[in-house]
Amino acid sequence: MHKLKELKKYNLLQVKEKLKRQKSINELSQIQADEAKCQTINRELDRLLSENHALIEEIGVQSFVSNRRLMQKMFDQKEVISNRLEFLDNEKLAVLAEVKKSNARDEIVERKKNKVKKQVRETLFKKQDENLGVTKRGQ
């Protein structure tokens, strides 16, 4: 009876690990989606900045100052996006490490569960052999 409770405990631990892994995988998907958005924004900022540098037309002083401010803001945004991408990479690595740990824990639980199942089977076979021996002696 004790072994059956232990089996149930291992089954529950496996379900818990499976849920943790699913949560981590969902989090990883969100991180990857956010990363894709940031990369798109980063490419668009690069394109705008290179287009702005490519303009070789004569512009007035006021337009030049305004254009410089705009370029500076775009560079600032590019830096923010780069920092965000770096953060997302670190988050992705952390989530992947958590998934690996979860898989390792699940494998350990599976081994322990199989060991207990084997013990339960052996106990069951011993009881069956004993019962068979008792019935043969009784005849």
Residue range 3-54, pLDDT digits in tens:
888 889 999 999 999 999 999 999 999 999 999 999 999 999 988 888 877 6
**pLDDT value for 67:** 80
Q: What is the pLDDT of residues 77-118, one digit of tens each?
A: 999 999 999 999 999 999 999 999 999 999 999 999 999 999
Q: Does domain 2-133 have CATH number 3.90.550?
A: no
- pTM attached to this predicted model: 0.68
| 56, pLDDT greater than 60 | no
Looking at residue 63, its pLDDT comes to 74
DSSP codes, 43-94: HHHHHHHHHHHH------HHHHHHHHHHHHHHHHHHHHHHHHHHHHHHHHHH
**Confidence class of residue 135 from pLDDT cuts 50, 70 and 90?**
confident
Count other C-beta atoms under 10 Å from residue 16's C-beta.
14
